Structure 1
Amino acid sequence: MIIIHAELKVNPERREQFLEESKTLLTATHAEEGNLSYELYENAGEANSFIMVETWRDAEAVSNHNTSPHFTTFSAKAGEFLAAPLDVKVFSAEQVK
């Protein structure tokens, strides 16, 4: 199982654009083969700071996602609404129980 944490710092003036683009990405990603979860959370202690928490069956599912039209479209637009570089951490895990 692959777990990804993508931290996003969003320009306050582009917050609504970011949220709209994220909704499209989330909906399409939830339907992907190999996606176990894909959620966006906002940091309650820091305005316009978000984390995308992704759980994937395997590396192949991640690779397919990274080349999907909805992900590449979101990535191409990310520069329009991000206030800082994306911070991505990738983990390998197994479910204990």
Structure 2
Amino acid sequence: MIIVNLQLKVKPEKREEFIEWFYGLLPDTRNYDGCSELNACSIAGEPNAVDAVSKWESQEKYDAYLAWREEDGTLAILAEYLSEEPIFRFLTVEKQF
């Protein structure tokens, strides 16, 4: 199992529009094969930071999902909203307690 932490910095003038668009995508992400959990998070003191933290069955399942988002044009649209390149952090779950 992996946890993916997608860290986004949104252009301040596009934040409200971005949130509506981005949150509209998340049900399809959560329902994608291999995704078992998805959370949209804010960061205290950083109003233009949005993180998506998701749990996936495997890196391969996430890679298939990301390829789908590339093919359907979502990643190109995402780039228009961002003030910085997105950061993808991949955490391998070693042990759950």
What's the CA shift for 1:91?
Answer: 1.2
Aligned residues: 95
Residue 14 of structure 1 is matched in structure 2 by: 14
Verify the 8 A CA contact 1:29 1:35 in the aligned structure 2.
yes
Distance 1:57 1:92 in 2: 10
Which residues of structure 1 form unaligned runs of 5+?
A: none
Residue 56 of structure 1 is matched in structure 2 by: 56
Q: Secondary structure at the match of 1:76?
A: helix
Runs of at least 4 residues off by over 3 Å? none
Distance 1:24 1:83 in 2: 20
Distance 2:31 2:5 in 1: 19
Distance 1:33 1:79 in 2: 24
Structure 1 or 2: more strand by fraction:
2
TM-score, structure 1 length as denominator? 0.86
TM-score, structure 2 length as denominator? 0.86
Residue 76 of structure 2 is matched in structure 1 by: 76
Residue 31 of structure 1 is matched in structure 2 by: 31
Q: CA RMSD in A?
A: 1.4
Q: Secondary structure at the match of 1:91?
A: strand
Which residues of structure 2 form unaligned runs of 5+?
A: none
